[in-house]
Structure 1
């Protein structure tokens, strides 16, 4: 039994090390040790094993680590048949071309939202939206959509959770969520990032469950509240079409 626990713990630690690279392309061993909360000697041994297996690569000149080619090899075998990020990309590109702003796709992951796809605006001043970005669930148009249209039990857990910042007005958010469910979309102006605005709407699976949030974002100077309200029916139509594409 102890041996089993030790093996599972080793796997968890290795996965924690790999997950360090979700927000960094290359890291020093000391940075990794700090992030996973392990002694440097333990991290060094695990990095050596991961490097030997091809999951981690080390730059000998800088002594920094990055993801290895085995990660990319595995990713090529992911099934695209049910992946919304792949299936919905053509419609996202069409919407971007119609509105001229950045289009993003978000899913909920625990107490965060994760950007799983983005199509950048072609305008000189634009909202850059990197794929893979993990953002807080308590602020922003897409976050509000992911909470508002979650199943009631999930929404109750989220609203009563402990991840909210100190002093956050949950009562005000609940009032906003009720309005979002009524009109079918959410807006935000400089809520998370100065100078940025966004409008988002839900995409539902064919079963009726929430699949993702579809967002259009750009500079607040160009994407005014009036313009976002004008864009909302267009974005909602795209979201309904996307809903017929995802299982």
Structure 2
């Protein structure tokens, strides 16, 4: 039993190391150890095992690590027929061309949202949306969509989460979610980032299960509240078309 626990702990630690690369291209041993909270000797042993299996690569000159080719081998076997990031990309590009603003796709993971796909605006001043970023659910248009159209327990989890602050009133937040459900879309104006605005609509599959949140974002001086309300109908129509691409 004890050996089994040690094995599971080693696997968890190795996975924690892999997850360090969701926000960085390459990392040093010291940086990885700091991120996972382990001694450098332990991290070094785990990295050696991961390197041996091809999951990480070590630059012998800089002594920095990056993801290995085995990751791409695994990702090649993902079922693209049900992957929103792949299936919805053409529609996202179409929407970007119509509105000339950055278009993003978010999914919920616990009390966070993850940007799984993005199509950048062609404008010189634009909202840059890197893929793979994790963001809180309690702020932002897409966050409100992912909470409003999920089960009521999700809202409770968000309000009980560590990121919730006293400045956020539960009653006001609940009222916002109700308004999102009634309108069918959500907006945000400089809620998470100064100078940025966004409007988002839910994507449901054919069984009316929430798949993702479709969001259009840009500078708040261009993407005004009036402009977002004007664009909302087009965004909701695009989201409805996207939902029909999923079997449910």
TM-score of the superposed pair, with normalisation by structure 2: 0.96
Gaps of 5+ in 1: none
Is this contact kept in 2: 1:101–1:218, CA < 8 A? yes
Offset of residue 156 of structure 1: 3.0
Partner of 1:48: 48
Partner of 1:29: 29
Offset of residue 194 of structure 1: 1.2
- State whether structure 2 residue 213 is matched by structure 1 residue 204: no
Partner of 1:39: 39
Partner of 2:89: 89
Is this contact kept in 2: 1:197–1:218, CA < 8 A? yes
Is this contact kept in 1: 2:100–2:121, CA < 8 A? yes
Decide which moves more: 11-20 or 67-76.
67-76
In the TM superposition, 1:125-204 aligns within 5 A as: 125-204=125-204
The 3-state SS of whatever aligns with 1:81 is: helix
TM-score of the superposed pair, with normalisation by structure 1: 0.96
Q: What is the CA deviation profile of residues 118-141 of structure 1, one whole-angstrom value per residue up to 9, with x for unaligned ones?
A: 111111111111111111111111
Distance in 2 (CA, whole Å) between partners of 1:137 and 1:216 is 16
Offset of residue 18 of structure 1: 0.3
Partner of 1:223: 223
Gaps of 5+ in 2: none
Is this contact kept in 2: 1:200–1:213, CA < 8 A? yes
Partner of 1:99: 99
Is this contact kept in 2: 1:151–1:209, CA < 8 A? no
Is this contact kept in 2: 1:111–1:163, CA < 8 A? no
Is this contact kept in 1: 2:111–2:157, CA < 8 A? no
Distance in 2 (CA, whole Å) between partners of 1:226 and 1:162 is 34
Decide which moves more: 104-113 or 148-157.
148-157
Question: How many residues end up aligned between the 2 structures?
Answer: 247
Distance in 1 (CA, whole Å) between partners of 2:54 and 2:161 is 39
Offset of residue 195 of structure 1: 1.0
Partner of 2:72: 72
Offset of residue 77 of structure 1: 1.4
The 3-state SS of whatever aligns with 1:47 is: helix
